[in-house]
Each structure stands twice: as C-alpha cells, then as structure tokens.
Amino acid sequence: MEIENSLLEAAKKAREYAYCPYSGFKVGAAVLGKSGRIYTGCNIENVSYGLTNCAERTAIFKGISAGEKEFEILAVTADTKAPVAPCGACRQVMAEFRINRIIMSNMQGKRKQALLEELLPFSFDEEKLRQNK
C-alpha cells in the first residue's frame, strides 16, 4: 500500500507539468522500476494531434532511457469522475515492457487496480511475431 501511495503522489505531482493546450486534460503517471526508482510522466500534446504522447508512455520511456529494464507497477491519474484508464497505445507499450500491475485513479483518490491481461487480452506479442511463416 505504501508504494502505491508514493506512486500516486508522484503521478499527481507530474500531472501539474502536463502540456495540453488542445485538450486541457491533464494526466500524470508514475512507474516503479525493478531498481526501486520511480519515473514520472505527463501528457505532452502537439499541434498535429497524433504526435501527442500520453503520461504513461512518457514515464515508461523515461525509465527505459535511464537504463531501467523491468518495471513493477504503473499508476495514472487525472481529474475525472471515475479513475482514468490508459489508452490502447499505452497498453501496448505496457505489454512490451511487461508492466503487469496498473493503478488508475482520480484527483479525489478513487482507485481501481487491474492486471495488464485484463486491460489488454489477446495481445500481440513477441511470441506471435516469431510464429511468422
């Protein structure tokens, strides 16, 4: 519970740095690396909307680019009525790095936990790529 609270706190702080002039929808995320380090992220939008990077991917890419190989838990938060859920692109990136535990929350502290296999069933993975004939 302690680590979950720390991750949500870190995600909440990172959310303040969201660059979202087009949607006005601020999101914060934090991911725990196997090393024990926490990497945070916010969403970063672009005038060519499709280049937008979500908070979750910002946090994961920060971890990878700092040398982190494996992760334990990812937390994400936004100012929504129900806990915010990661988009499909972020779920696929979480699958790439086997981030199995996801904590979704809102600003009021409402939480929901899920396993990646629940968020992304029948996922496309390395094993399927290797079945290429």
Ligand X SMILES: O=c1ccn([C@H]2C[C@H](O)[C@@H](CO)O2)c(=O)[nH]1
Residues with active-site annotation: 56
Least distance (Å) between residue 18 CB and ligand X: 7
Q: Does residue 90 bind Zn ion (CB under 5 A)?
A: yes
Is 32 or 105 the residue whose CB approaches ligand X more closely?
Answer: 105
- CB closer to Zn ion, 27 vs 32: 27
Q: Which of 64, 70, 59 is nearest to 34 (CA)?
A: 70
Asked if 94 is part of the footprint of Zn ion (rule: CB under 5 A), the reply reads no
How many whole angstroms separate alpha carbon 20 and alpha carbon 47?
10
Residues lying near ligand X in the complex (CB under 6 A) are found at: 20, 23, 25, 27, 43, 45, 52, 54-56, 76, 84, 86-87
CA distances from 73 to 24, 29, 63 (A): 26, 11, 12
**CB 51, CB 28: distance < 8 Å:** no
Segment lying near Zn ion (by CB under 5 A), choices 6-14, 16-24, 89-97, 112-120: 89-97
Rg of the chain over Cα atoms, rounded to whole angstroms, equals 15
Q: Which residues bind Zn ion (CB under 5 A)?
A: 54, 87, 90
